[in-house]
Amino acid sequence: MAEATNFIEQIINDELENGVVKSVYTRFPPEPNGYLHIGHAKSICLNFGIKEKYGGKCNLFFDDTNPSKEKTEFVEAIKEDIKWLGFTWDKETYASDYFGKIYEFAIELIKKGKAFVCDMTAEEISASRGTLTEAGKESPYRNRSVEENLELFKAMKDGKFADGEKCLRAKIDMASPNINMRDPVIYRILRQPHHRTGNTWCIYPMYDYAHPICDYMQGVTHSLCTLEFEDHRPLYDWVGIELGFSPKPRQIEFARLNVTNLVMSKRYLKKLVEDGSVEGWDDPRMPTLAGIRNRGVPAEVLKDFCGRIGVSKANSEVQISYLEACIREYLNEHAERAMAVLKPVKVTIANYPDGMSEELDFEINPKDGDGKTRKITFSKNIFIDADDFSVAPPPKYFRLKKDGYVRLKSAFIIKCDDVIFGDNGEVKELICSYVPESKSGNDTSGIKVKGVVQWVNADDAVDVKIRKYGYLLNDEEYPGQDFSERMNKESLKVFEGKVEPYVMNNSADKVYQFIRTGYFKRFAVKDGEVLSEIVSLKDNFNK
């Protein structure tokens, strides 16, 4: 038997060994009310990972019991995201596929005296539910006869009552220490067209009641959900036992994935999309799978991350810098190197002949070990990044300063002889001289320099907007859960940069490391193409 890597696999191994189950069937159960986020990726990797490990099955199950929020657009987006992660579901199912069956099971519960139609309003029901220390009050409608309940429930279905006028409740125990067991509502009246069943139904089952039935109907053996459903498990089991499910699916809860600086709530992400704080669900700053994909993070990095953080019973928060470290680790191996400057400063190499140009060798990826190079061009006029020059350098400043030396990546050592300032005191141009015998790979100059900076040739560099991203949320804790207080107003920075032509002429889906800046890719926007940051190079993860 495969070795268990988490507590859920341990449970499965034990059950297989003891013959409690013969095979394993899981499902990933999103509600199609938004796009999937990185938290869902954890659940997807877990459910489909178990399918693959045990040679079992896994369905994509859409929990569409809440018609007011669900849309077909979201169904399609969810499917695309799961495919992108590289998983295949056995069946695509919907809670709404089982609405008929769920209704019949409700009738069965009524016939067993285990459910009743209640006339109390939602407010009255919640007021009579009691507290953790106090039992709830029984509904005055609790002891209606089976016949009356059957009649009223059918009338509910037939649209004889207004929304909220009546509901169906399970008859369990108003004194249960578990509030979820205090005669929970299992059906409500709601005149709301459904994205799949249209106006067929005006009553809809509640999630806690529908879910065990849908699991059972699909042959699910292990119904994995997040920890907040732990208190709902007695109700899940009650439904299965009262309806005589055999074999009865087993609910197992695991900890949600939380990541610093990211909010994993579709409701909140939806608000960002709707109020225009981001460019859409797939904005590269969004923690949605569509956003992460658009950002340029490969699916295998995300899967690897989910594997590394593991599955446990204890809630915890993962530092976003850990996710970034995983992305960097992968891209460091796979990304080509290239040169771009975000804030170009003109550099004139005074002692380089006018009109001359030469080709130099540039190593495509020093990490892949094949030593392959490509040609870059050098001339008298280049640009370096404003951040690689300092007017008032701190001690141990190894980049360019007046009268200081620095190496231009894969080219020559230069020295800054003069600084020309603009009207506002900004550095406008650097007059430098180069050391002809310091060519990279063949340096006989004997000059030792510690700093290497990137540059582009002014004669062939391409103007391009370069986008860098900050987090959507600041990391500080706020007392309330109103995320708008935590919004980072500067999550998008755009630079009028310059890049070597290679990047814009090469195939569009490649990823590049710009020295000391980060990993970038080309990205289509409304009015053309920009370079978009995947992850910065700065590693602030606390190892």
Chosen from Mg ion, ligand ATP, none, partner binding at 256 (C-beta under 5 to 8 Å by type): ligand ATP
| H-run or E-run covering 27 | strand 25-28
Does 31 help bind Mg ion (rule: CB under 5 A)? Answer: yes
Q: List the catalytic residue out of 101, 256, 374, 402.
A: 256
- Residue in the block written with tokens 């100059």: 445
Q: List the catalytic residue out of 144, 266, 415, 467.
A: 266
Task: Name the percent of the chain in helix, strand, coil, to the closest 5.
Answer: 30, 30, 40
Among 15, 31, 429, 460, binds ligand ATP (CB under 6 A): 31
Q: Which is nearer to ligand ATP, 40 or 521 (CB)?
A: 40
The dihedrals phi and psi of 2, each to the nearest 5 degrees, come to -60, 145
The distance of closest approach from Cβ of residue 535 to ligand ATP in the complex, given in angstroms and rounded to an integer, is: 21
User: For residue 534, what are its two tokens?
Assistant: 């995947």
Region from 17-25, 28-36, 165-173, 291-299 binding Mg ion, contact rule CB under 5 A? 28-36
Q: Are 364 and 541 in contact (CB under 8 A)?
A: no
Residues 6+ apart with CB under 8 A from 188: 164, 167, 203, 204, 206
Q: Which is nearer to ligand ATP, 172 or 257 (CB)?
A: 257
Among all residues, whose Cβ is closest to ligand ATP? 39
User: For residue 68, what are its two tokens?
Assistant: 């007011």
**Residue 257 CA: distances (Å) to CA of 96, 155, 207, 314:** 28, 43, 22, 10
Residue type, 397: Y
Report the C-alpha gap between 191 and 529 in whole angstroms.
Answer: 46
Chosen from ligand ATP, Mg ion, none, partner binding at 208 (C-beta under 5 to 8 Å by type): none
- Residue in the block written with tokens 């732990």: 230
- Mapping DSSP onto H, E and C, the string for 27-96 reads EECCCCCCCCEHHHHHHHHHHHHHHHHHCCEEEEEECCCCCCCCCHHHHHHHHHHHHHCCCCCCCEEEHH
Q: Which is nearer to Mg ion, 31 or 429 (CB)?
A: 31
Which phi-psi region, left, alpha or beta, contains residue 75 (left: φ > 0; alpha: ψ -120 to 50)?
A: alpha
The distance of closest approach from Cβ of residue 312 to ligand ATP in the complex, given in angstroms and rounded to an integer, is: 11
| Interface map 234-263 toward ligand ATP (x if CB under 6 A) | ----------------------xx------
160 as an active site residue: the answer is: no
Q: Which is nearer to ligand ATP, 297 or 515 (CB)?
A: 297
Q: Are 416 and 408 in contact (CB under 8 A)?
A: no
Chosen from ligand ATP, Mg ion, none, partner binding at 266 (C-beta under 5 to 8 Å by type): ligand ATP
Chosen from Mg ion, ligand ATP, none, partner binding at 39 (C-beta under 5 to 8 Å by type): ligand ATP
Among 13, 226, 277, 536, binds ligand ATP (CB under 6 A): 226
What is the signed CA dihedral for 92, 96, 100, 102, rounded to 10 degrees? 90
Angle at 246 between CA 44 and CA 185, to 5 degrees: 70
The dihedrals phi and psi of 122, each to the nearest 5 degrees, come to -55, -40
Does 43 help bind ligand ATP (rule: CB under 6 A)? Answer: yes
Alpha-carbon torsion 503, 386, 453, 383, what sign?
Answer: positive
Q: Which residues within the stretch 55-74 sit at the binding site for ligand ATP (CB under 6 A)?
A: 63
Q: Which residues within the stretch 324-343 sit at the binding site for ligand ATP (CB under 6 A)?
A: none
| H-run or E-run covering 47 | helix 38-54
The distance of closest approach from Cβ of residue 31 to Mg ion in the complex, given in angstroms and rounded to an integer, is: 4
Among 12, 30, 54, 222, binds ligand ATP (CB under 6 A): 30
Among 50, 75, 225, 408, binds ligand ATP (CB under 6 A): 225
The distance of closest approach from Cβ of residue 99 to ligand ATP in the complex, given in angstroms and rounded to an integer, is: 18
Q: Which is nearer to ligand ATP, 39 or 67 (CB)?
A: 39
Region from 40-48, 116-124, 270-278, 399-407 binding ligand ATP, contact rule CB under 6 A? 40-48
Among 8, 24, 35, 39, binds ligand ATP (CB under 6 A): 39
Does 157 help bind ligand ATP (rule: CB under 6 A)? Answer: no
138 as an active site residue: the answer is: no
- In 190-286 the beta strands, taken as DSSP E runs, fall at 203-205, 222-226, 250-254, 257-259
266 as an active site residue: the answer is: yes
Active site positions, annotated: 31, 256, 266
Kindly list the residues in this chain that would bind ligand ATP in the complex (CB under 6 A).
29-31, 39-40, 42-43, 63, 225-226, 256-257, 264-266
